[in-house]
Amino acid sequence: MPARFWSCGADSTRASGLYSGTSEYEACTAGPSALFLLRVSAPTTSQLTRIRELFQPTLSFLGYELYDLALTGAGRNTTLRVQIDRPQGVTLDDCERVSKSLSALLDQADPLPTRYDLEVSSPGAERPLRNLDEYRRFIGRRANVRHRVGDNEQVAEGRLTAVAEQMIELQLGEGKHQKTVAIPLGDILSARLAIDLSRH
């Protein structure tokens, strides 16, 4: 049985928490950039589809969405990164719970041939916005949007106030300086949530 250790990136409300496991866990850290890590056995990118299919039923049963799955690095520095999500957010305890469940699945299925690290985390406070459903889910939150304007690029940051099939609306500024801009979805190059200091 390979040695395991966890740490977890979670929402800011739980970023200061600390997990202390049994002697099976070698190390544990906490903080906004911490991750739950699990040492298991190893890397091939061609197996991601199989791993996704392996994880999906368990994550759905536990009440989580598989937000992202990626295999990075090479050799002994290979990492399988799993990001989980749910409407109420993800905490350190959620990452620990999912890490243990995925550990059991990986031990049984052994989907990759060599050693690798498994990282389980949340998408983070500045998560990317990737599709209409995610824009709609975060109406009312601040967003940072990089978009085309003619031959140039601009960045707009403000509160997401409306989402249609072809565009989004952002409220920029406050008070008498407040204005609303409409950005066609086809012009958006990238978008992410932005930290809203007024909510803290």
List, for residues 151-195, the tens digit of each pLDDT value. 999 999 999 999 998 999 999 988 788 999 999 999 999 999 998
Contact predicate 192/143, CB 8 Å: yes
C-alpha angle with apex 182: 176 to 194, nearest 5 degrees? 75
Residue 172 identity: L
Roughly how many angstroms between the first and final C-alpha of the chain, as a whole number?
43
Q: In the prediction, which pLDDT does 198 show?
A: 67
| Structure token digits, residue 98 | 């999912």
Predicted structure pTM score: 0.67
What digits encode the pLDDT tens for the residues 15-64? 322 232 332 333 333 444 445 444 443 345 567 889 999 999 999 999 99
Rounded Cα distance, 57 and 93, in Å: 20
> pLDDT per residue over 83-108, tens digit each?
999 988 899 999 999 999 998 998 88
Q: Give the 3-state secondary structure of residue 45.
A: helix
166 within 8 A of 184, measured Cβ to Cβ: yes
